[in-house]
Amino acid sequence: MRLAAVVVNYHSGPLLEDCLRRLLAHPAVHELALVDNGSKPGEIDALLARLKDRRMLRLDLLDNPGFATACNRGARATHAPHLLLCNPDCLMESSALDDLCAAALEIEKHHALGALGAVLVDRSGTVDPASARRDPTPLRAVVSALGLERFLPTRGVHEAIVGTAPMPVDAISGALMLLRREAFYAVRGFDEGYFMHSEDLDLCRRLREQDFSVWLHPGVRVLHVKGVSSARHPFRIEYAKYSSLLRYFDKFDAVRLAPPTRALIRVGAFLRLLLHWGLASVRRPRVRQ
């Protein structure tokens, strides 16, 4: 398999070099586009000088247009028939990428593969719920807004991850996606109206609507050190989640609902945003004078 890896950087720190070295060490990676979303001048120059790999292409997006736009730019700048979107805080072992590539080729024998993901885990081995998700339907949105997920049967499919065989799912995490370029182009890539968050849900839903399948490989686990970039702007991150989920809702589900239901979902989402902002204010470390 020939892969074009796309890594989007935004103040990722030392994890970026570790991520890139792991990808470049794998023979399937024929191209690697590093899309830099507004680093400080010279911030990654030394890193690229150390790597010195002709497979690497650097794209500088000085105005930080967001994750979706950066991924699309990286995809357009490469040519391999398969894309590997990998966050800088996802650290892949070569064996994991071997297994992911082998599974993708096997799935393609029987299905129109759109995207394939792995189980993302933190340093303690805890599974990231975003590894596999259901579509955020209006009912699930209301349940989430009211904090009732643990009491109602709308919990994430990550809790049903068993065995080692690939399984079809609604959506996988944009932190790590192996995509067929043909499928990615068929749905015109990520919707660049999302700055960050929910663009992966949107992409997976549009892939399935175009009869491409979305899969998770439970037998492949990848370390995901979350929050490296987002910790810098907790309030901005929460607002991005809020606005992105509303964009998703308006795009796919709002038209089928009565105005009072649409209003209830919007109010619930806003109240949840205020709650998260309040919690972020309490947890944010104070700077000593």
Q: Quick check: helix, strand or coil at residue 218? A: strand
71-80, 96-105, 112-121, 149-158: which range is least confident on average? Answer: 149-158
Helix (H) or strand (E) holding 223: strand 213-224
> At residue 176, does pLDDT exceed 80?
yes
Is the pLDDT at 274 greater than 50? The verdict is yes
Distance between CA atoms of residues 19 and 82, nearest Å: 19
Q: Tell me the pLDDT of the chain averaged across its residues.
A: 86
110-158 confidence digits (pLDDT tens): 999 999 999 999 999 999 999 999 998 766 666 655 556 665 544 455 5
Q: Is the pLDDT of residue 285 over 70?
A: no
pLDDT average, residue stretch 198-209: 97
- In whole angstroms, what is the distance from residue 196 CA to residue 7 CA? 15
Assess contact for 189 and 114: CB atoms under 8 A.
no
Calculate mean pLDDT across residues 203-214.
98
Lowest mean pLDDT segment, chosen from 4-13, 32-41, 268-277, 278-287: 278-287
| Residues forming a β-bridge with 115 | 179, 214
Q: What does pTM read for this prediction?
A: 0.85
- DSSP for residue 254: G
In this predicted model, what pLDDT tens digit does every residue of 23-40 receive, in sequence order?
999 999 999 999 999 777
Per-residue model confidence as pLDDT tens digits over 56-66: 999 999 888 99
Name the one residue in this structure whose structure tokens are 């699930």.
Answer: 140
Write down the pLDDT at residue 214: 98
Higher per-residue pLDDT: 2 or 62: 2
Q: Is the pLDDT of residue 83 over 90?
A: yes
Q: At what angle do helices 138-145 and 259-283 cross, to 10 degrees?
A: 40
Query: For the residues 242-270, what does the mean pLDDT come to?
Result: 79
Which H or E element spans position 3?
Answer: strand 3-9
Decide if pLDDT at 106 tops 80: yes
> CA 28 to CA 178: how far, in whole Å?
12
